[in-house]
């Protein structure tokens, strides 16, 4: 058994070595060097003009009840861009990411609002590092802000009082903590209202970042991949949420040079 695991690990390392070499070659073709294969710019042709965060929030909120989390964040940002900028935004298929609702088709993984936000950020910034910095900052905002704080101009489903700290960008845990605090079922008007307002919050935060970036003033608020480097596994600093008192150490796994 032990031997089998070692065998498969060796073949994994061999394959990932090839994959890394592939990345280096691809990046040298588009202008990077083989040594610096991590970040590169690209141009998808989606232009940006500063948006009104209030309008973005309102559109996102209204769209939620039809398009759900991911596509309504996209709609909140793309619909005003269609009017203000036009161009490629006119044909952008807002509903192509609707599958991401409920943490990907209801599987409860990453909150769909963040998938929607990350999609537009990637289209607009044209730089893999800046997009990742914004995605990272959005995860921090989502996890460590009491939400939803958005107040709609006209309430669509129901009044709402409870706000919770998700402590994580994971849909299941975020929704579950809110349901426990509000004492509401998943299939209730209140939970739909909560996710609609949360989507508006995320779209507004994303717009603030993009507006700053447009002015050349966006600076990442948080270190990139801090958790991964600190813990030796993709995660955040909340190990005990799932592992309880017995958090396994990633240090026992042999790894490539750090
Ligand atoms: C959202 C829940 C969740 C969080 C948060 C989480 N883990 Fe895990 N982790 C799991 C599950 C589930 C497994 C699979 C365990 C198994 O199948 O035995 C796992 C597996 C692991 C493994 C590999 C299995 C082992 O026993 O060695 C390591 C190492 C690990 N986690 C470390 C961490 C560390 C360190 C953190 C915090 C930085 C963390 N985890 C946060 C759920 C979580």
pLDDT band at 159 (very low <50, low <70, confident <90, very high): very high
Question: Averaged over 151-178, what is the pLDDT?
Answer: 97
How far is the centre of ligand 1, averaged over its atoms, from the C-alpha of 33 (Å)? Answer: 35
Q: Which tokens belong to 179?
A: 């349901």
| Ligand 1 and 248: CB distance under 6 A | yes
How far is the centre of ligand 1, averaged over its atoms, from the C-alpha of 77 (Å)? Answer: 35
Q: Is the pLDDT of residue 20 over 60?
A: no
Nearest CA to ligand 1 atom 32: 248
- Each residue's pLDDT tens digit, 218-256: 999 999 888 888 898 999 989 999 999 999 999 888 876
140 near 221, Cβ under 8 Å?
yes
Q: How far apart are CA 59 and CA 236, in angstroms?
A: 31
Q: Is 108 left (phi over 0), alpha (psi -120 to 50) or beta?
A: left
Which residue in the block uniquely carries the two structure tokens 């994580």?
168
Question: Averaged over 196-201, what is the pLDDT?
Answer: 98
62 near 85, Cβ under 8 Å?
no
Nearest to 194 by CA among 223, 234, 157: 157
Nearest CA to ligand 1 atom 24: 248
How far is the centre of ligand 1, averaged over its atoms, from the C-alpha of 187 (Å)? Answer: 30
Q: Which tokens belong to 57?
A: 């929030």
For ligand 1, what atom is nearest to the CA of residue 241? 5
**What does the pLDDT read at residue 10?**
36
**What does the pLDDT read at residue 5?**
38
Q: Is the pLDDT of residue 95 over 60?
A: yes
Query: Percent of the chain at pLDDT above 90?
Result: 76
86 near 58, Cβ under 8 Å?
no
Higher pLDDT, 9 or 229: 229
- Which of 34-48, 50-64, 72-86, 134-148 has the lowest average pLDDT? 34-48
| Ligand 1 and 96: CB distance under 6 A | no
**What does the pLDDT read at residue 37?**
57
Report angle CA 194, 144, 111 to the nearest 5 degrees.
Answer: 50
How far is the centre of ligand 1, averaged over its atoms, from the C-alpha of 247 (Å)? Answer: 7
| Ligand 1 and 242: CB distance under 6 A | yes
| Ligand 1 and 235: CB distance under 6 A | yes
How far is the centre of ligand 1, averaged over its atoms, from the C-alpha of 239 (Å)? Answer: 7
pLDDT band at 65 (very low <50, low <70, confident <90, very high): very high
For ligand 1, what atom is nearest to the CA of residue 235? 38
Nearest CA to ligand 1 atom 40: 239
Question: Averaged over 82-110, what is the pLDDT?
Answer: 97
**What does the pLDDT read at residue 86?**
98
Q: Is the pLDDT of residue 207 over 50?
A: yes
Nearest to 51 by CA among 23, 17, 20, 85: 85
- Which of 22-36, 157-171, 187-201 has the lowest average pLDDT? 22-36
How far is the centre of ligand 1, averaged over its atoms, from the C-alpha of 237 (Å)? Answer: 11
How far is the centre of ligand 1, averaged over its atoms, from the C-alpha of 241 (Å)? Answer: 10
Query: Percent of the chain at pLDDT above 70?
Result: 84
- Each residue's pLDDT tens digit, 135-144: 999 999 999 9
pLDDT band at 258 (very low <50, low <70, confident <90, very high): low
For ligand 1, what atom is nearest to the CA of residue 230? 38
Contacts 24+ apart (CB under 8 A), 91-100: 92/46, 92/123, 94/67, 95/67, 95/71, 97/70, 97/71, 98/67, 98/68, 98/70, 98/71, 99/70, 100/69, 100/70, 100/71
Q: Is the pLDDT of residue 82 over 60?
A: yes
């Amino acid at each position: 058994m032990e031997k089998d695991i070692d065998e498969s690990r060796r073949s994994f390392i061999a394959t990932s070595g090839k994959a890394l070499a592939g990345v280096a070659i691809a990046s040298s073709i588009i202008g990077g060097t083989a040594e610096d294969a991590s970040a590169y710019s690209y141009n998808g042709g989606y232009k940006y003009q500063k948006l009104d965060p209030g309008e973005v929030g309102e559109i996102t909120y209204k769209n939620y009840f039809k398009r759900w989390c991911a596509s309504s964040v996209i709609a909140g940002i793309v619909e005003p861009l269609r009017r203000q900028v036009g161009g490629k935004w006119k044909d952008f298929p807002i509903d192509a990411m609707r599958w991401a609702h409920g943490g990907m088709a209801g599987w409860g993984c990453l909150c769909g609002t963040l998938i929607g936000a990350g999609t537009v950020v990637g289209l607009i910034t044209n730089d893999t590092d800046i997009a990742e910095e914004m995605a990272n900052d959005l995860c921090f905002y989502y996890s460590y802000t009491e939400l939803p704080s958005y107040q709609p101009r006209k309430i669509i489903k129901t009044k709402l009082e409870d706000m919770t700290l998700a402590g994580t960008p994971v849909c299941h845990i975020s929704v579950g903590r809110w349901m426990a605090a509000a004492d509401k079922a998943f299939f209730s008007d209140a939970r739909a209202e909560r996710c609609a307002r949360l989507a508006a919050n995320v779209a507004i935060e994303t717009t603030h970042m993009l507006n700053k970036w447009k002015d050349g003033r966006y600076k990442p608020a948080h270190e990139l991949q801090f958790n991964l480097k600190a813990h030796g596994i993709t995660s955040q600093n909340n190990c005990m949420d799932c592992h309880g008192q017995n958090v396994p150490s990633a240090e026992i796994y042999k790894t490539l040079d750090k």
